[in-house]
Amino acid sequence: MARDLGGVLILLVPVLLFVWRTGAGGLDVDQFLSRSILEFSSSSAATPQRTWKANGSRNSLPMVGDEDGMEEILRLARRPEAVEWVKGVRRRIHEHPELAYEEVETGRLIMAELEGMSLGYRFPLATTGIVASIGTGEPPFVALRADMDALPIQEAVEWKFKSKVPGKMHACGHDAHVAMLVGAAKILKAREHLLKGTVKLLFQPAEEAGIGAKRMIEDGALKGVEAIFALHVSHELPTSVIGSKAGPLLAGCGFFKAEIRGSEGPAGNMHYSVDPILAASAAVVSLQNIVSREANPLDSQVVSVSTVNGGSNLDSVPESVTLGGTFRAFSNTSFYKLRQRIKEVIITQASVYRCTASVHFFENEGFYPPMVNNEIMYEHVKKVAISLLGPKNYRVVSPLMGAEDFSFYSEIIPAAFYYIGVRNESLGSIHSAHSPYFMIDEDSLPVGAAVHAAIAERYLSEFGEIIVNSKKASARAIGSIKRKANEYLDG
C-alpha cells in the first residue's frame, strides 16, 4: 500500500504545485486526490490490503475465525425474527405502492423503522427522499441507495399481500430494494462500533419516471460521499445469486418526440398541400440508418420509432404528423451522438419534403446516461459477494439495453451497480420486471440486506483509511509546497 500511495504522491506533487502556483480556482484538491488514488490504484491495487486485525486494538471483532465479519453479518441477516421482519417491511410496501414523487407512506414507514433503530436521517430530499446515517458521523462516507417508487400497472399476481391500490404495483421490485436497505440498516446498526466512517442510506424517489437520482444529488445527497453502491432484483438470476460486470452495465436511454409540419390539403390534388406524412415516412426510414450505417457494429446502439400519429381523413393530408421513440447506447459519446443525429435527420428529412420539424428530448423527465461500473468498485462488490456467499453465488452478467437513473450518481463518484437473483421456478418468480405477473422469491431479502451491509462496512475498512490517509498526505504536501514557496519568495 505504501508503495502505491508513494507513487500517487510522486505523480501528484508537480500537479499540486502547478495548481497552487497558477492559482486555479475551484479545484477541490482533496477530491481530486482521492479520485486519483482510486484511478491510480486500479492497475496495481484493485484489492487494497485489509486494515482490520482479528484482535485489532479498538475494533476487536466478535467472532474468532471471522476476521472480516462476513459470517456475523450473514448470521444477523438470517436470524428468523430478522427474516420475518424484513419480509414484513417488503409486504407492507408492496400492498401500498406509490408512484414517482408520491412515496409518502413508503417514506413514513422507512422513517418509523429508522427511528426504531435510533438512526438519524435527513428528510425530505427530492420531495420524498430520505438520507439516513450510521457510523462515526465522520468521513469517509460511503452510500447505499434504494429506489422507492412503484409503476402504473395493475397487479395480476393473486397472493396474500397483493397491491391494494388499483392500477399501481411494485412490478420492478423497488419494495424489495427498500426492505433490503432497511435490513442493511439494522445489521449496520448492530455493528456500528466497527464502522470506520459513515454509511449513508439513500432512499430515493422517482426512479421509474422523473429522474429522482438527479434531484437527490441536487439536494446534496452525495455531499462528502466517496463511493456509492446499489442493487436491483433480477428474475434472470436464481434466488440470492449476485451478478454484475465491470464497465458498461446498462444503456444510456433517451426518448424523442418530433412534430413534422406541412400544410393540410386535398389528397386528390397534392400540389395544393405540403405532405407531412411523406416527410415523416422518409424520416422514419432514415432514422433506421443511423445505427446501421453510422455506428460501430461492436458498440451496441438502438434507435426505435415507436409512435407515428397524423391524419384521420382518408381524403386529405393533415397539417402535421408526430413521431417518437427511444434511443440507447453504452457510452456517453455514442449516446449524445445519437441524440444529435436523431435531431438532424428528422429536421433535414422534413426540409427535403418542404416541411418544418421540431424535436423534443424530455431531458428533465426521462434521460438517463449509460450506467458504467467503476472497475475498482465493481471488484469490491465481487470480492465481498464471493466472501459472503461463496463463488457459486456470483455470476458475471451481460450488459442490458435497460436503463437506471443510478447512472446519475455514477457520473459523479465511483459507483457499482449489481443484481440479486429472485428467480425461483417453483414459486413462479420467473417474470421480468414491469410485468403484471412480476414477483420475487422473498428469501433473497435477508441476503440483499447482508450484501449491502458487507459492501459498506468493508468499503470503509478497506478504502476509508487509504482515502483519509491520502487526504492527510495531500494536506501535508500542500503545506510543504507552500512553505517552500514562501521560503523562496522571502529569500
Sequence-distant (6+) residues with CB within 8 A of 345 are 283, 286, 287, 290
349 binding partner (options ligand NAG, Zn ion, none; Cβ < 5 to 8 Å by kind): none
Find the binding residues for ligand NAG in span 324-353 (CB under 6 A).
332, 336
In whole angstroms, give the CA distance from residue 52 to residue 128. Answer: 37
H or E element that contains 143:
strand 141-147
In whole angstroms, give the CA distance from residue 204 to residue 229. Answer: 13
Min dist. Cβ of residue 332 to ligand NAG (A): 4
426 binding partner (options ligand NAG, Zn ion, none; Cβ < 5 to 8 Å by kind): ligand NAG
Which of 13, 122, 411, 473 lies at the binding interface for ligand NAG (CB under 6 A)? 411
Find the binding residues for ligand NAG in span 201-240 (CB under 6 A).
238-239
310 binding partner (options Zn ion, ligand NAG, none; Cβ < 5 to 8 Å by kind): none
Name residue 396's beta-bridge partners. 244
Contact yes or no for 346/258 (Cβ under 8 A): yes
Report residue 389 as a C-alpha cell.
456467499
Min dist. Cβ of residue 368 to ligand NAG (A): 12
Sequence-distant (6+) residues with CB within 8 A of 262 are 273, 274, 275, 276, 279, 317, 319, 320, 353, 354, 355
123 in contact with ligand NAG (CB under 6 A): no
Name residue 400's beta-bridge partners. 250
Sequence-distant (6+) residues with CB within 8 A of 221 are 125, 126, 129, 131, 143, 200, 202, 204
411 binding partner (options ligand NAG, Zn ion, none; Cβ < 5 to 8 Å by kind): ligand NAG
Site string for ligand NAG, 49-78 (x = CB under 6 A): ------x-----------------------
Nearer to ligand NAG, 229 or 368 (CB): 368
Q: Report which residue type is found at 179.
A: A
172 binding partner (options Zn ion, ligand NAG, none; Cβ < 5 to 8 Å by kind): Zn ion
Find the binding residues for Zn ion in span 159-178 (CB under 5 A).
172
Find the binding residues for ligand NAG in span 414-473 (CB under 6 A).
424, 426-427, 441
424 binding partner (options Zn ion, ligand NAG, none; Cβ < 5 to 8 Å by kind): ligand NAG
H or E element that contains 226:
strand 225-238
The residues that touch ligand NAG, with contacts defined as CB under 6 A, are 55, 238-239, 332, 336, 411, 424, 426-427, 441
The residues that touch Zn ion, with contacts defined as CB under 5 A, are 172
